[in-house]
Structure 1
Amino acid sequence: MSKTFSFPIYTTISDTPTPYCEEIDPEVFLYPFFNQGVSAKRKAFTDRKTSTLGESLLPREEGLLPIRGFIFHTAHCGSTLLGRMIGSSPQVRMISEPEAINGLLLSYLMHQITEAQALNQLKQIIEAYAISGDGKKSIIFKLTSWNVFLIQLFQKLYPSSPWIYIDRETEELVKILTKEDGGFIDWWHHPVDILRKHFVESSICEDQESYLRHMIEGHRKNALAAKNSNALLINYPDFLTAFPEILAHFQLTFSSEEMANALDFQRFESKQFDPILFEPIV
């Protein structure tokens, strides 16, 4: 069994949000989504070690991997593919849409915890993922799409860190999302307006399409409002040809072998861990 580390797995959604950690194999980061990897790797453990994230578990700052940046994005824009391409390098630890961050941000929205508390716990969670010791040299976070509505928290903590935003044409996305479920799409179907009220005015959302349109445009609006000298805004599918530019933006240098391995991910379904060939919908 390979060496295990204590990483944040989830955060309770409450007025006293608590991040929980588990001892787990760092191979979880090779999966399309971090918590998907957690579920898969748990099968190998009969006695999991779970603990709350507190001062005693926080790594010393000198033992942290350098944070190369953050990936913000809209829905269905290829961000998972990009994350897997970057994370395919043995030098990069890619944290993809961790529920520990989502739970904290939902607590901030729904239970009105203070910004100071949110910032403190967000920093603790991010640094808990950055513990070194498995040969990685840097870390990048690919966040859940709606996290861009709270991008100011990340910028306050890491004002000089590079970040990118991947966008996609609104009407094209609306057509795709009306056939999908999960994520902020489920918020529309919820019988109580618990979450969507934090992102759109209910009065202007007469139906699902108008809701999706406003959510997509809201993602874009927040990214544009946050744009600074550390930002790289790019559209789907342009990021595929701009991959070297993205690496440079994150101050990463791939060898020719690493680059070939990364580009090879374009052949497969990005949201499937097993290599299933990608078949575009005609």
Structure 2
Amino acid sequence: MLSNWIPYKLEIVDQEVRVLWLDLEDRFIAEPFFDETILENRICAKNKGRGRLVSQSDIRSLCEWVSQVETCPVTAFIFHVSRCGSTLLSQCLVADKKYVVIPEAPLLDEILQLEEALLPEEISRERFFKAILTFLGQRRLGQEQLFIKLDSWHIHQYNLLRGWFLNTPFYFLSREPKAIIQSHEKRRGIQMIPGYLSEGANPVQVHAGHYADFSLFTADVLSNFYKGLIDVRAQRNPLDGFYDYASGMLGLLADFDAHVGTQLSASGAAVDRLNKHSKYPDQVFKERQEDAESILYEHSHTSYSQYYKLLCRSEKV
């Protein structure tokens, strides 16, 4: 009954949380972002005359159904500061076909930000989160390893998630701020829009200057990300791995293999995907030239430099 069905969204109606579900049927999740998977599924459902149907449950039912699902545990969580190679890494994983990647699923963020009072008294946020992962990681098409690519602001949720997943590898991707800011100036992510996310999710106090200069807000957000990475690095957890864009994308797969135990660098499909655009797999990737006239926000550069020095120092040890 539950085979191929996965939860994808929360709705709150009259202070009651409803979990919305979709039937993946035999579709493999290969899109760069989970929202795209949902859209593709809806289009397919509409073409089959099922577009008006809405499948939903409450939290209690979802948690009870967990025992009926054959699933695989999370192999690794992927953290990132945005525009630093995380989408490309997740696309290399799905190119191999034996790996399942859930890339930036809004549902996971909705659970992390959900008010405690909306949860049933006997169900903790941890139990709810892990129940969702059970369904997202169910064995469907023979894949046996599950990877969760989180949103960039989930760096601030490190301590919570590490407490829930004590024995799971975490992998952190980073990049210098100027290139990230330039990328967001061309196509801005929601986390870099002042006031779009709550301060609980993205702890940067928004002020008038941010609305006058969105890139200043991006620089402030990045500065907080780098400080978060510094805090994570200071904990020296052996299950935490780190890679910076400056080391080159060609070395990314081998480094990920060494930390997580995958075999991406030996996969022809994964290596070939490395040469294509992360978000547009039919396009060959071309590195954009840096805009020499763009502003360098010193505080974000300083935070990044502090983190990068820690990273380089640990590699030499």
Q: Give yes or no for the alignment of 1:222 onto 2:231.
A: no
Once the two structures are TM-superposed, the CA of residue 60 in structure 1 deviates from its matched residue by 4.8
| TM-score (structure 1 length as normaliser) | 0.83
Once the two structures are TM-superposed, the CA of residue 16 in structure 1 deviates from its matched residue by 5.1
CA RMSD across the alignment: 2.9
Deviations 1:29-77 (A, max 9, x none): 111112202211322223256222513432457x221321100000111
Q: Does the CA contact (< 8 Å) of 2:192 and 2:221 recur in 1?
A: no
1:234 counterpart SS class = strand
Q: Does the CA contact (< 8 Å) of 2:264 and 2:271 recur in 1?
A: no
Give 5+ residue unaligned stretches, structure 1.
none
2:217 to 201, 211, 221: 211
1:177 counterpart SS class = helix
Q: Does the CA contact (< 8 Å) of 1:6 and 1:22 recur in 2?
A: yes
CA distance change for structure 1 residues 17 and 145 in 2, over 3 Å: closer, same or farther? farther
CA distance change for structure 1 residues 50 and 251 in 2, over 3 Å: closer, same or farther? same
| Partner residue in 2 for 1:169 | 176
1:27 counterpart SS class = coil
Task: In structure 2, give the amino acid aligned to 1:167.
Answer: S
CA distance change for structure 1 residues 13 and 161 in 2, over 3 Å: closer, same or farther? farther
Q: Give yes or no for the alignment of 1:21 onto 2:7.
A: no
d(CA) in 2 for partners of 1:278 and 1:136? 28
| Partner residue in 1 for 2:262 | 252
2:229 counterpart SS class = helix
2:285 to 255, 278, 282: 278
d(CA) in 1 for partners of 2:111 and 2:209? 27
Once the two structures are TM-superposed, the CA of residue 205 in structure 1 deviates from its matched residue by 6.0
d(CA) in 1 for partners of 2:176 and 2:126? 32
Task: In structure 2, give the amino acid aligned to 1:236.
Answer: Y
d(CA) in 2 for partners of 1:254 and 1:200? 36
Once the two structures are TM-superposed, the CA of residue 87 in structure 1 deviates from its matched residue by 1.8
| TM-score (structure 2 length as normaliser) | 0.75
d(CA) in 2 for partners of 1:13 and 1:278? 41
Once the two structures are TM-superposed, the CA of residue 209 in structure 1 deviates from its matched residue by 3.0
Q: Does the CA contact (< 8 Å) of 2:78 and 2:149 recur in 1?
A: yes
Q: Percent identity?
A: 17
2:257 counterpart SS class = helix
d(CA) in 1 for partners of 2:11 and 2:229? 27
2:269 to 258, 261, 271: 261
Deviations 1:248-282 (A, max 9, x none): 311223584xx11101112322213x522333333
Q: Does the CA contact (< 8 Å) of 2:254 and 2:265 recur in 1?
A: no
Give 5+ residue unaligned stretches, structure 2.
290-317
Once the two structures are TM-superposed, the CA of residue 123 in structure 1 deviates from its matched residue by 1.3
Once the two structures are TM-superposed, the CA of residue 196 in structure 1 deviates from its matched residue by 4.0
Task: In structure 2, give the amino acid aligned to 1:33.
Answer: F
d(CA) in 2 for partners of 1:237 and 1:263? 19
CA distance change for structure 1 residues 118 and 222 in 2, over 3 Å: closer, same or farther? farther
d(CA) in 1 for partners of 2:199 and 2:191? 8
Task: In structure 2, give the amino acid aligned to 1:218.
Answer: N
Q: Does the CA contact (< 8 Å) of 1:13 and 1:103 recur in 2?
A: no
| Partner residue in 2 for 1:10 | 9
| Partner residue in 1 for 2:293 | none
